[in-house]
């Protein structure tokens, strides 16, 4: 079934999933701040627990406010359904959970948010899951890393901390040739700039904490299923295509067709792992989604100007922004992110670690913190913060070496953003002199 | 990006207008469910229970379960044996098993021949359409009802519905 909507992106951003509240007619989505929902009778309860009817049971699995956000994000990504989670990190956990058994592996691009590298290679080990990180710039490297234990291929469309763009179509082909799904983290691009499902991705995940909520005020994550991957084509995904003991032998793919993955995400993933998005955060993220297109337009416009300014600055060794003509990912940016290459990128400062530290301590408008995708401009020194759990080699491989600063360009007046960086760079320059 | 799993681009059974599905779900009252299972964890049982809850009368057809009742309804060996007037025949059988069921649906004067998710038989569809039936293939009435009523959205699915009106089927 095609999920291509006849409505435009901005219309979907505002309306998808959010018809007037059926109970009250409230036009804005109400915050259903409740943990549980009453059953009509014992039979109704049994039907709900058996997944035989649609409906709400308990807030750990589903919530009407969160459901609006789930449908909104699924719609913006062109997916079949979505499962929202408490954070982007738990979205990754929930994305892999239906696919992996102890002893299984997945292949991931090594250019990832530092926290994801730690989660994939350290914490997932405790489940017996092995995240194999490779240089995915060459899709053949990914192909060669695939083994009979591999269950998925993973990349970030626009990779954190910045500047790197994955060749989604090529990676989808490598994954599909091996009968595997491609999972794409689309947090940094957002569906406004890039829709990975249209390039062959099977699952898309988000940290909604970033651009989707957009205001730096609500934690959350989402797993979007394209509905296109055939989980039952062989025995590789027993959670989805074999009888599930926790539901009396129900087989998800047989009973729910292309809804199977998303129902599993709620009925098993959220039920038994528990990383549920709070309804209040769902509401704030719904609010954020309504202005996503407008915000992203200004984010990329400001980011392009800041990147061009920094590219010509004597204290700056390099700027890793795919919107610059000299960038090695420029061609991929034009293919996958034609509107703009996002608003998060990295720069290298000539003065190295000390200059980096001086700059983050000298800015007045930029906020020195560990987040991206806020209305506010943000700055961080990844080597000492977000990527500090990694070895020096891993830091460099992830694009987070000691001289690197990550910028997330906000929506302030462009002259003020540049003036703030200019004065901070001048202070770093005086330090070196 | 279009789905390639169900035929060519001009294939009129690749997608159905929401208005058509809605009008069928509104007009149909009694459904013969061919392949209905007495086993509660089978997909047909799920669909039958849901459709009953929504006010449809669903009459199970399953030669292997004759003599039993499913969800309070007597099981028949074939559609033609059902004494009641049937508006729609819903097929939970393999695609190649559809042609004689389509003939049965025509013979009893059903208005709609509906084939479940994963079930599609173009020849049977053509026969039924020539006899004046409306044919839906590769869809589930439970999922379509849930999608159009907004219930599917309760579970995070993309219903494709954009509306400033309160939803109802």
| Secondary element (H or E) of residue A78 | none
Query: Which residues of chain B have a CB within 8 Å of the CB of A22?
Result: 150, 166-167
| pLDDT of A398 higher than 80 | no
Mean pLDDT across the stretch A416-432? 93
CB contact under 8 A, A62 and B154: yes
| pLDDT of B122 higher than 50 | yes
Residue A99 has phi, psi (to 5 degrees) of: -95, -30
The size of the A-B interface in CB pairs under 8 A is 129
* Least confidently predicted of A96-105, A289-298, B38-47, B85-94: B38-47
Q: What is the pLDDT of residue A395?
A: 84
- Helix A352-362 vs helix A414-432: angle between axes, to the nearest 10 degrees? 140
CB contact under 8 A, B155 and A12: no
Query: Which residues of chain A have a CB within 8 Å of the CB of B42?
Result: 255
Burial of residue B103, with CB atoms counted within 10 A of its CB: 0-12 exposed, 13-18 middle, 19 or more buried: middle
Query: Which residues of chain A have a CB within 8 Å of the CB of B3?
Result: 1-2, 228
| Tokens (6 digits) for A346 | 């990295």
Q: Which residue has the higher pLDDT, A191 or A5?
A: A191
* Least confidently predicted of A38-42, A191-195, A355-359: A38-42
| pLDDT of B3 higher than 70 | no
Selected residues 129-158 of chain A with any CB under 8 Å from a CB in chain B: none
Closest CA to B21 of B155, B163, B161: B161
CB A143 within 8 A of CB A132: no
Q: What is the pLDDT of residue B10?
A: 60
| pLDDT of A3 higher than 80 | no
CB contact under 8 A, B160 and A2: no
Selected residues 188-227 of chain A with any CB under 8 Å from a CB in chain B: 197-198
Question: Measured between CA atoms, how close is A144 to chain B, in angstroms?
Answer: 28
Strand positions, DSSP E, A229-356: 316-320, 344-349
Q: What is the pLDDT of residue A327?
A: 94
Closest CA to A256 of A225, A234, A221, A235: A225
Percent of chain A with pLDDT over 70: 99
Name the 3-class secondary structure at A83: strand
| pLDDT, tens digit, 9 for 90 and up, residues A126-141 | 999 999 999 999 999 9
Mean pLDDT over each residue of chain B, to the nearest integer: 91
Selected residues 239-268 of chain A with any CB under 8 Å from a CB in chain B: 247-250, 254-255, 257-259, 262-263, 265-266
Q: What is the pLDDT of residue B8?
A: 44
ipTM score: 0.83
| Tokens (6 digits) for A72 | 């909104």
Query: Which residues of chain A have a CB within 8 Å of the CB of B117?
Result: 257-258
Closest CA to A227 of A249, A202, A255, A246: A202
Q: What is the pLDDT of residue A44?
A: 83
pLDDT band, very low/low/confident/very high, at B1 (cuts 50, 70, 90): very low
Name the DSSP class of A245: G
Measure the CA angle with vertex A120, ends A129 and A136; round to 5°.
110
| pLDDT, tens digit, 9 for 90 and up, residues B83-96 | 999 999 999 999 99
| pLDDT of B146 higher than 50 | yes
Residue A429 burial (CB count, 10 A): 18
Q: What is the pLDDT of residue A286?
A: 98
Residue B3 burial (CB count, 10 A): 16
Do you find a cis peptide bond into A270, omega within 30 degrees of 0?
no
pTM of the model: 0.92
C-alpha B110/C-alpha B102 separation (Å) is: 10
C-alpha A69/C-alpha A75 separation (Å) is: 10
User: Least CB-CB distance to B166: which of A20, A53, A67?
Assistant: A20
Q: What is the pLDDT of residue B125?
A: 97
C-alpha A361/C-alpha A300 separation (Å) is: 25
Selected residues 12-71 of chain A with any CB under 8 Å from a CB in chain B: 12, 15-17, 19-22, 25, 27, 47, 50-56, 62, 64, 66-68, 70-71
């Amino acid at each position: 079934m095609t999920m291509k909507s006849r409505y435009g992106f901005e219309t979907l951003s505002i309306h998808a999933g959010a018809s007037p509240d059926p109970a009250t007619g409230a036009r804005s989505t109400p915050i259903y701040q409740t943990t549980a929902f009453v059953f009509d009778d014992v039979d109704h309860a049994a039907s709900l627990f058996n997944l035989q009817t649609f409906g709400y049971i308990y807030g750990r699995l589903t919530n009407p406010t969160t459901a609006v956000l789930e449908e909104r994000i699924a719609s913006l990504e062109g997916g079949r359904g979505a499962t929202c989670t408490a954070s982007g990190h738990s979205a990754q956990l929930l994305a892999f959970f239906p696919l992996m058994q102890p002893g299984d592996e997945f292949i991931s691009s090594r250019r990832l948010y530092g926290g994801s590298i730690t989660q994939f290679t350290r914490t997932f080990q405790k489940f017996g899951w092995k995240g194999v990180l490779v240089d995915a710039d060459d899709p053949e490297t990914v192909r060669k890393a695939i083994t009979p234990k591999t269950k998925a291929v993973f990349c970030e469309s626009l990779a954190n901390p910045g500047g790197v763009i994955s060749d989604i179509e090529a990676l989808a082909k490598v994954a599909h040739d091996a009968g595997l799904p491609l999972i794409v983290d689309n947090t940094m691009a957002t569906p406004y700039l890039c829709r990975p499902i249209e390039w062959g991705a099977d699952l898309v995940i988000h940290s909604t904490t970033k651009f989707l909520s957009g205001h730096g005020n609500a934690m959350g994550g989402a797993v979007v299923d394209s509905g296109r991957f055939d989980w039952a084509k062989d025995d590789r995904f027993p959670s989805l295509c074999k009888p599930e003991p926790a539901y009396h032998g129900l087989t998800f793919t047989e009973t729910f067709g292309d809804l199977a993955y998303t129902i599993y995400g709620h009925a098993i993933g959220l039920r038994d792992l528990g990383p549920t998005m709070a309804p209040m955060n769902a509401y704030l993220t719904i609010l954020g989604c309504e202005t996503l297109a407008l915000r992203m337009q200004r984010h990329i416009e400001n980011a392009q100007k800041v990147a061009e300014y920094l590219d010509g600055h004597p204290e700056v060794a390099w700027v890793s922004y795919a919107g610059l003509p000299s960038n090695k990912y420029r061609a991929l940016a034009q293919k996958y992110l034609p509107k703009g290459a996002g608003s998060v990128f990295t720069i290298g400062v000539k003065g190295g670690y000390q200059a980096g530290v001086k700059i983050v301590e000298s800015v007045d408008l930029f906020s020195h913190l560990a987040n991206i995708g806020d209305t506010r401009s943000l700055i961080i020194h990844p080597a000492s913060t977000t990527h500090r759990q990694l070895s020096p080699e891993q830091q460099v491989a992830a694009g987070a070496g000691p001289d690197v600063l990550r910028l997330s360009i906000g929506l302030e007046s462009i002259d003020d953003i540049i003036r703030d960086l200019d004065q901070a760079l001048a202070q770093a320059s005086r330090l070196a002199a | 990006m279009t789905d390639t799993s169900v035929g060519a681009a001009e294939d009129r059974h690749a997608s159905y207008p929401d208005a058509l599905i809605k009008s069928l779900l509104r007009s149909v009252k009694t459904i013969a469910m061919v392949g209905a299972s007495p086993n509660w964890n089978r997909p047909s049982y799920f669909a039958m229970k849901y459709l009953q809850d929504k006010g449809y009368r669903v009459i199970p057809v399953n030669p292997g379960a004759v003599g039993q009742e499913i969800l309070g309804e007597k099981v028949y060996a074939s559609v033609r044996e059902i004494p009641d007037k049937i508006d729609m025949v819903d097929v939970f059988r393999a695609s190649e098993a559809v042609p004689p069921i389509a003939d049965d649906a025509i013979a009893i004067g059903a208005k709609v021949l509906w084939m479940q998710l994963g079930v599609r038989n173009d020849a049977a569809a053509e026969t039924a359409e020539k006899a004046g039936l409306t044919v839906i293939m590769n869809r589930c009435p439970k999922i379509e009802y849930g999608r159009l009523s907004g219930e599917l959205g309760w579970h995070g699915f993309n219903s494709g519905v954009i509306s400033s009106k309160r939803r109802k089927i």
